[in-house]
Amino acid sequence: MAKTALITGITGQDGSYLAEFLLKKKYKVHGIVRRVASEDPTHRLWRIKHIIKKITLHNSSVESYSSLVRVIQKIKPDEIYHLGALSYVAYSFDDEFSTINTNINGTHFVLSAIKDFSPKTRFYFAGSSEMFGKAEQVPQNENTKFHPRSGYGISKVAGFDLTRNYREAYNLFCCTGILFNHESPRRGYEFVTRKITHAVARIKYGLQKELRLGNLKSLRDWGHAKDYVEAMWLMLQQKKPNDFVIGTGEQHSVKEFAKLAFSLAGMNYKDYVKVDKNLIRPSEVDSLLADYSKAKKILKWKPKTNFKELVKNMATEDLKLVKKQGY
Task: Count the neighbouring beta carbons within 10 Å of the beta carbon of residue 216.
Answer: 17
Query: Quick one: 240 and 261 in the same domain?
Result: no
Q: What's the pLDDT score for residue 94?
A: 60
| Residue 296 within any structural domain of the chain | no
Q: What is the pLDDT of residues 273-290, one digit of tens each?
A: 999 988 887 777 889 999
**Which residue among 17, 79, 81, 130 is the active-site one?**
130
Domain span at residue 8 reads 4-182+222-246
Task: Please indicate, yes or no, whether residues 135 and 201 belong to a single structural domain of this protein.
Answer: no
Residue 40 within a domain: yes
Whether residue 256 sits in one domain with residue 234: no
Collect all residues with Cβ–Cβ distance below 8 Å to 292 and sequence separation of at least 6: 244, 245, 246, 247, 248, 249, 301, 302
Radius of gyration over alpha carbons of the chain, in Å? 19
When pLDDT is averaged across residues 298-309 and rounded to a whole number, the result is 98
pLDDT: is 60 or 98 the higher one?
A: 60
Active site (annotated) includes residue 67: no
pLDDT of residue 95: 62
Considering 17, 27, 81, 152, which one is annotated as catalytic? 152
The answer to whether residue 153 sits within a structural domain is yes
> With 60 as the cut, is the pLDDT of residue 92 above it?
no
Residue 293 included in any domain = no
Side-chain-side CA neighbours of residue 50 (13 Å)? 6
Q: Is 128 a residue of the active site?
A: yes
Residues 169 and 207 in one domain: no
On whether both 136 and 278 belong to a single domain, the answer is no
Do the domain assignments include residue 300?
A: no
Any domain includes 298: no
CATH of the domain at 279: 3.90.25.10
Based on the structure, what is the number of domains in the chain?
2
Same domain, 78 and 162: yes
Whether residues 130 and 28 share a domain: the answer is yes
Quick: pLDDT tens for 209-226. 999 999 999 999 999 999
Residue 133 has pLDDT above 90, yes or no: yes
Report pTM.
0.95
User: How is the chain split among helix, strand and coil, in percent rounded to 5?
Assistant: 45, 15, 40
Whether 301 is covered by a domain: the verdict is no
**Are 230 and 275 contained in the same domain?**
no
171 and 216 co-located in one domain:
no
Catalytic one of 60, 61, 128, 155: 128
